[in-house]
Amino acid sequence: QLKDDFIEKYTLARKQLNANFDEWMKYYQSSKSHFLLEEYIEGTVFSCDGLIQNGKIIFSTIAEYEATSGPYLLQNATFIPARFSPIVKKKCKQAAFEVMKALGFDNCGFHIEMKLTTNGPILLEAAARLPGGKILDTYQEIYHVDLASLFIDLLLGKKLIKKQIHPSGCMLIEAVYTDQVGLITQAQDTSRVKIPGFTLLSYVDLEKFTAPVMGIPPMYFYYQLQSKTWKDIEKLRKKIKKQFIIKVEKNWLFFLLKLRGVFPGKLGVRSGLLRFVLDRYYRRV
């Protein structure tokens, strides 16, 4: 029965994906005069993640997300566990479980993204899958629960035991962006960074050309930070940002592009290709 349920959900998901793509392409074509209007809702984004088997929640927790300020709302930080009060966390979980029940989620992972507003949680996204990115690894480090292995056991039909939530600390995962344009000539020597609980996940390369793509600034470093309290993490977070500062050189090519109205971020879809070409140019010279 479990195998049949999985195949049925997979087939339905593929059909819905194709339908969503067709709907998206109706609005993507610039030659048509259709407009897609979206409303920005004030509040804090969070996700309720976990596993459900035969109608019973095996594991569930809340992750909190932070976004940059406008005009581009880039998700730049994840806080695990969420910095909510126990009462708020309970309300968030209840709202997510109601969504799952309405959609018929069962025998699957779940990732329910919502925004916590003054009127309560509002649904943003509901997915019958485990969370992505570094979140799974973080859950394993903070809660000592391997959701990926549990999900495989679920698919194999093994009966799962409900996992208790006992976080061993707090973790911040953050991406830092820059809207500077030019050649990166100076960056932090990562071997000299000695901060307890700090792990560098990716960092920008020297002699690389950086520029916004379609107006959106690129990420120049990505890290995780683990500690016992959020107070400690906030102190270390400020310290890290002061250390990881890049220097960008604006040479003759930058000013030529600016005169032509290319930067910052006004080239449109070709800006990614332009940045690639300029990056190769700089590496040669």
**Among the four given CATH numbers 3.30.470.20, 3.40.630.30, 3.10.20.30, 3.40.50.720, the one describing domain 2-12+42-168:** 3.30.470.20
Under the banding of pLDDT at 50, 70 and 90, the label for residue 15 is: confident
pLDDT tens digit sequence for 73-119? 788 999 999 999 999 999 999 999 999 999 999 999 999 999 999 99
Domain boundaries, the chain: 2-12+42-168, 171-284
pLDDT tens digit sequence for 109-165? 999 999 999 999 999 999 999 998 899 999 999 999 999 999 999 999 999 999 988
- Find out whether 197 and 236 touch, Cβ atoms under 8 Å: yes
pLDDT tens digit sequence for 176-209? 988 888 788 888 887 778 889 999 998 888 877 7
pLDDT tens digit sequence for 208-224? 778 777 677 888 899 99
Residue 102: predicted pLDDT: 96
